[in-house]
A and B are shown apart, each in its own frame.
Chain A
Amino acid sequence: MATAGTARTPAAATPRAAQAGRLSTVEAVRRMAPYWLTVSLRTWRGSVVSAFLAPVFYVVAMGVLLGGFIDSDPARLEGAPTYLAFIVPGLVAGHAMQTAVADTSWPVFSNFKWNRVYDSMVATPITVRQVAVAHLFFVWVRVTVVCAIFDLVVAPFDVYAAWWSPVAALGAQSLTGLAFATLMYGYSCRISSDAAFGVVFRLAVFPLFLFSGAFFPVANLGPVGEVVAKLTPLWHGVNLSRTCSLATLEPGTALLNVGVLLAVAGLGAWWATSGLERRMAS
């Protein structure tokens, strides 16, 4: 078909983008979409347990069973009527971080080290930066979908204070996922051996999950601990998710939370794209 076209009107038959010389990022992401869709369709089955079942187990064990031993005192639970209502939005935000980080660690490293998918992508008109943006975009979509399903599942258990709570909380969780996806992406591009992941998971991801207010009010960490916890991006995600869920938003704090997450995501996007550019150049 293309050859026939070339014979008649060469210029008109050349694909539009090649003619333009440069692809727009939106067009590049659109072109990579079939790849990422195929990959997610092929692998979703293998991640059902860690993506959906594991957090449900956490909610039941901590929220329901352990929560049964905890007094339902809003004054000690940042305004939550029950421990379950307190922990669920925090856990989902923490889970957003973990999913994002898991999707941008080994999978990214493997794409330039082992199966070399990136190499084949940049051998086309797509640029390195666009490759990074597209991958991050699809991680973001996946994290958002995972959190949305989760928010739906817990809806019947009286954890939302207002009709708009789940939607707003999902926004907070999705933003949290994006921020951490970009950070981890940039890190993955800059390490030389995948052994470095073990250390960062144990020293950064895991402590963040445990101490950023998902399981208990950060006030319980003492004055210093509380300040430190509030400096972490995950606390901002957890707090935003929780205040949305409990409908206890205060404009000042909410704006701060959103601002911090957006700033991290923005910086992270630069850190990620420049990381991949450096990696692909070497």
Chain B
Amino acid sequence: MSAARPAAARLRVLPLTSWQATLLLVERNAITYRSEWKLFITGFLEPVFYLLSIGIGVGQLIDTFEFNGQQVPYAEFVAPGMLAASAFNGALLDSCFNFFFKLKHQRLYDSVLATPVGTGDVARGEVVWGQLRGGSYSAAFLVVMLLLGYIHTWWAVLALPAALLIGFAFSAMAMACTTWFTSWQDFEKVTLVQVPLFLFSATFFPVTAFEGWLRWVVECTPLYRGVVLCRELTTGAVSVESAISVVYLLVMGTIGLVVVRRRLGTLLLT
């Protein structure tokens, strides 16, 4: 047969490893982003604005907070919170809005799954893409923190992987939930979860603001785990709790990924 099709010899269709297939989704997204670089650049500013406004503006009304036995100036207290929160917000934006658009409106994955690329590759590809974007914001934010003199410990280097971990956990989980959405109305529910998590996860004030069982609830929420993890790393007050947070977020992300993969199968491969 190939003798009759000489041109075919030139074109080599190679079996894809799952890592390659994952990166292909990333490549696709990168191309669509070429025309939206303004959106990409400005996304980085959000946490910086929060840091300058709340951390410095409001910070002048507050002295210091105690955190794991250290006295921490307010801006240094808020900065890691913003690092975690921006990873969280970015993950939600990508994995709810953008993912929903591709899944339900553009029906992108219908065509992707007709190729050797599979549902697992799609799920991983979207998460990896989200992390590349979120990760570059986090790295830039850490540089800003360093320039403002908020970092005094080498532990802070690990805050970057910590932010990536937060992004991963929320991306995967949010994508999993999005597979059940049917219309844009459902996004009101995202706001309903996103805003309270952002505001009450000890981002702007210590968890001691909550009392009794309420404090327990807050300590069990995922963004709180991310915020304290980042705070422990940037202030150097690392503890056993840091390990708990890491495991918590890893488990959450993995469950999310498995669910996304399954749901894509039931939704698209029928």
Interface residues of A (CB under 8 A from B): 46-50, 53-54, 57-58, 60-62, 65-66, 68-71, 76-77, 83, 195, 198-199, 202-203, 206-207, 210-211, 215-216, 220-221
In angstroms, Cα B35 to Cα A155, docked, is 48
CB <8 Å contact, B42 and A76: no
Which residues does chain B contribute within 8 Å of A47, judged by CB atoms? 188
What is the CB-to-nearest-CB distance from B47 to chain A, in angstroms, rounded to a whole number? 11
Which of A48, A66, A206 makes the CB contact (< 8 A) with B205?
A66
The 6 listed contacts between A and B (C-beta, < 8 Å) are A50-B191, A53-B192, A68-B205, A70-B62, A203-B42, A216-B57
- Given contacts A50-B188, A62-B204, whether A216 and B199 have CB atoms under 8 Å apart is no
For residue B61, CB closer than 8 A to chain A, the reply is: yes
In angstroms, Cα B185 to Cα A249, docked, is 42
CB <8 Å contact, B199 and A211: no
CB <8 Å contact, A203 and B62: no
Task: Count A-B pairs with CB separation below 8 Å.
Answer: 94
Which of A68, A203, A211 makes the CB contact (< 8 A) with B209?
A68
Known: A49-B191, A66-B58, A202-B46. 13 other contacts (CB 8 A): A49-B195, A57-B199, A58-B199, A66-B209, A69-B206, A69-B209, A70-B61, A76-B61, A195-B38, A195-B39, A198-B38, A199-B38, A199-B39
Instruction: Tell which of B52, B205, B210 has the most Cβ of chain A within 10 Å.
Output: B205
How big is chain B's contact interface, by range?
20 to 34
Which residues does chain A contribute within 8 Å of B195, judged by CB atoms? 49, 53-54, 57-58
Which residues does chain B contribute within 8 Å of A46, judged by CB atoms? 185, 188
Which residues does chain A contribute within 8 Å of B58, judged by CB atoms? 66, 70, 215-216, 220
For residue B43, CB closer than 8 A to chain A, the reply is: yes
CB <8 Å contact, B188 and A206: no
Q: Is the interface of B mostly helix, strand, loop or mixed?
A: helix
For residue B67, CB closer than 8 A to chain A, the reply is: no
Which residues does chain B contribute within 8 Å of A198, judged by CB atoms? 38-39, 42
What is the CB-to-nearest-CB distance from B169 to chain A, in angstroms, rounded to a whole number? 22
Interface residues of B (CB under 8 A from A): 36, 38-39, 42-43, 45-46, 49-50, 52-54, 56-58, 60-62, 65, 185, 188-189, 191-192, 195-196, 199-200, 204-206, 209-210
In angstroms, Cα B57 to Cα A97, docked, is 21
What is the CB-to-nearest-CB distance from A204 to chain B, in angstroms, rounded to a whole number? 10
CB <8 Å contact, A206 and B191: no
What is the CB-to-nearest-CB distance from B71 to chain A, in angstroms, rounded to a whole number? 14
Closest to A83 in B: B61
CB <8 Å contact, B209 and A220: no
In angstroms, Cα B58 to Cα A195, docked, is 32
Which of B49, B56, B191, B205 makes the CB contact (< 8 A) with A69?
B205
CB <8 Å contact, B188 and A48: yes
Which residues does chain B contribute within 8 Å of A207, judged by CB atoms? 49
